[in-house]
A and B are shown apart, each in its own frame.
Chain A
Amino acid sequence: MKRLPIQGRTLGLLAVLLPLLGLFVYVAVRSGPLAPVPVTLATVEEHTLSPALFGIGTVEARYRYRIGPTVAGRVKRLEVQVGDRVRAGQLLGEMEPVDLEARLLAQAAALKRARAQLREAEAAHAYARSQALRYEKLLAAHTVSEEVVAGKRQERLLTGAALDGAREELVRVGAEQEALQAQRDNLQLVAPAAGLVTLRGADPGTTVVAGQAVVELIDTNSLWINVRFNQTEAQGLRAALPAGIVLRSRAGQRLAGQVLRVEPLADQVTEETLAKVSFARLPDPLPPLGELAEVTVSLPGLPSAPVIPNAAIQRVKGRLGVWQVSGGDLRFTPVELGVAGLDGRVQVRVGLRSGDRIVVYSARALSARSRITPVERLSGAGS
Chain B
Amino acid sequence: MSGKGIRIEGLTKRYGRGDTAVDALKGVDMQVAPGEVVGLIGPSGSGKSTLLKCLGAVIEPTAGRMILGDEVIYDDGWRVGDLRALRRDRIGFVFQAPYLIPFLDVTDNVALLPMLAGQPNAESRRRALELLQGLDVQHRARAMPSQLSGGEQQRVAIARGLVNRPPVILADEPTAPLDSERALGVMRILNRMARRFETAIIVVTHDEKIIPTFRRIYHIRDGVTYEEAGQGRGFD
Interface residues of A (CB under 8 A from B): 2-3, 5-6
Cβ contacts under 8 Å, B142 to chain A: 2-3, 5-6
Across the two chains, which residue of chain B brings its CB closest to A1?
A: B142
A33 to B85, CA, bound (A): 53
Cβ contacts under 8 Å, B141 to chain A: 2
Closest Cβ–Cβ distance, residue A323 to chain B (whole Å): 58
Closest Cβ–Cβ distance, residue B139 to chain A (whole Å): 7
A3 to B140, CA, bound (A): 10
Asked if A5 and B144 make an inter-chain contact with CB atoms under 8 angstroms apart, the answer reads: yes
Closest Cβ–Cβ distance, residue A352 to chain B (whole Å): 68
Task: Say yes or no: is B49 at the interface (Cβ < 8 Å to chain A).
Answer: no
| Among A2, A3, A5, A6, residue most surrounded by chain B Cβ atoms (within 10 Å) | A2
Cβ contacts under 8 Å, B105 to chain A: 6
Subset of 11 A-B contacts with CB under 8 Å:
A2-B139, A2-B141, A2-B142, A2-B143, A3-B142, A5-B142, A5-B143, A5-B144, A5-B147, A6-B105, A6-B144
Q: Is the interface of B mostly helix, strand, loop or mixed?
A: loop
Across the two chains, which residue of chain A brings its CB closest to B106?
A: A2
A60 to B144, CA, bound (A): 98
Query: Which residues B127-174 have CB closer than 8 A to chain A?
Result: 139-144, 147
Cβ contacts under 8 Å, B140 to chain A: 2
Cβ contacts under 8 Å, A3 to chain B: 142
Across the two chains, which residue of chain B brings its CB closest to A9?
A: B144
Cβ contacts under 8 Å, B147 to chain A: 5
A6 to B144, CA, bound (A): 8
Cβ contacts under 8 Å, A2 to chain B: 139-143
A3 to B144, CA, bound (A): 10
Known interface pairs A2-B141, A6-B142; 11 further A-B residue pairs with C-beta atoms within 8 A, sorted by A's residue number: A2-B139, A2-B140, A2-B142, A2-B143, A3-B142, A5-B142, A5-B143, A5-B144, A5-B147, A6-B105, A6-B144
A324 to B6, CA, bound (A): 89
Q: How many A-B residue pairs lie within 8 Å, measured between CB atoms? A: 13
A3 to B139, CA, bound (A): 11
Closest Cβ–Cβ distance, residue A174 to chain B (whole Å): 137
Closest Cβ–Cβ distance, residue A54 to chain B (whole Å): 77
Closest Cβ–Cβ distance, residue B88 to chain A (whole Å): 26
Closest Cβ–Cβ distance, residue B41 to chain A (whole Å): 39
A5 to B144, CA, bound (A): 8
Across the two chains, which residue of chain A brings its CB closest to B105?
A: A6
Q: What 10 A-B pairs have minimum CB-CB distances, sorted nearest first?
A: A2-B142, A3-B142, A6-B142, A2-B143, A6-B105, A5-B144, A2-B141, A5-B143, A2-B139, A5-B147
Across the two chains, which residue of chain A brings its CB closest to B144?
A: A5
A163 to B139, CA, bound (A): 166
| Among B105, B140, B141, B142, residue most surrounded by chain A Cβ atoms (within 10 Å) | B142
A2 to B142, CA, bound (A): 6
Cβ contacts under 8 Å, B144 to chain A: 5-6
A2 to B140, CA, bound (A): 7
Cβ contacts under 8 Å, A5 to chain B: 142-144, 147
Across the two chains, which residue of chain B brings its CB closest to A4?
A: B142
Closest Cβ–Cβ distance, residue B144 to chain A (whole Å): 7
Closest Cβ–Cβ distance, residue B151 to chain A (whole Å): 18
Query: Which residues B97-111 have CB closer than 8 A to chain A?
Result: 105
Cβ contacts under 8 Å, A6 to chain B: 105, 142, 144
Cβ contacts under 8 Å, B143 to chain A: 2, 5
Closest Cβ–Cβ distance, residue B201 to chain A (whole Å): 30
Closest Cβ–Cβ distance, residue A11 to chain B (whole Å): 15
A5 to B142, CA, bound (A): 8
A3 to B141, CA, bound (A): 9
A3 to B105, CA, bound (A): 10
Across the two chains, which residue of chain A brings its CB closest to B141?
A: A2
Closest Cβ–Cβ distance, residue B81 to chain A (whole Å): 39
Closest Cβ–Cβ distance, residue B152 to chain A (whole Å): 13
A193 to B144, CA, bound (A): 114
A309 to B179, CA, bound (A): 92
Across the two chains, which residue of chain A brings its CB closest to B147?
A: A5
Closest Cβ–Cβ distance, residue A125 to chain B (whole Å): 156
A5 to B147, CA, bound (A): 10
A5 to B141, CA, bound (A): 12
Closest Cβ–Cβ distance, residue A301 to chain B (whole Å): 83
Closest Cβ–Cβ distance, residue A4 to chain B (whole Å): 9
Across the two chains, which residue of chain B brings its CB closest to A7?
A: B142
Closest Cβ–Cβ distance, residue B105 to chain A (whole Å): 6
A101 to B140, CA, bound (A): 140
Closest Cβ–Cβ distance, residue B27 to chain A (whole Å): 51
A258 to B139, CA, bound (A): 103
A198 to B105, CA, bound (A): 104
Closest Cβ–Cβ distance, residue A319 to chain B (whole Å): 66
A5 to B143, CA, bound (A): 8
A93 to B147, CA, bound (A): 118
A2 to B129, CA, bound (A): 14
A3 to B142, CA, bound (A): 6
Closest Cβ–Cβ distance, residue A7 to chain B (whole Å): 9
The 8 A CB mask of B20-56 against A (1 = contact, 0 = none) is 0000000000000000000000000000000000000
Closest Cβ–Cβ distance, residue B125 to chain A (whole Å): 13
Closest Cβ–Cβ distance, residue A378 to chain B (whole Å): 51
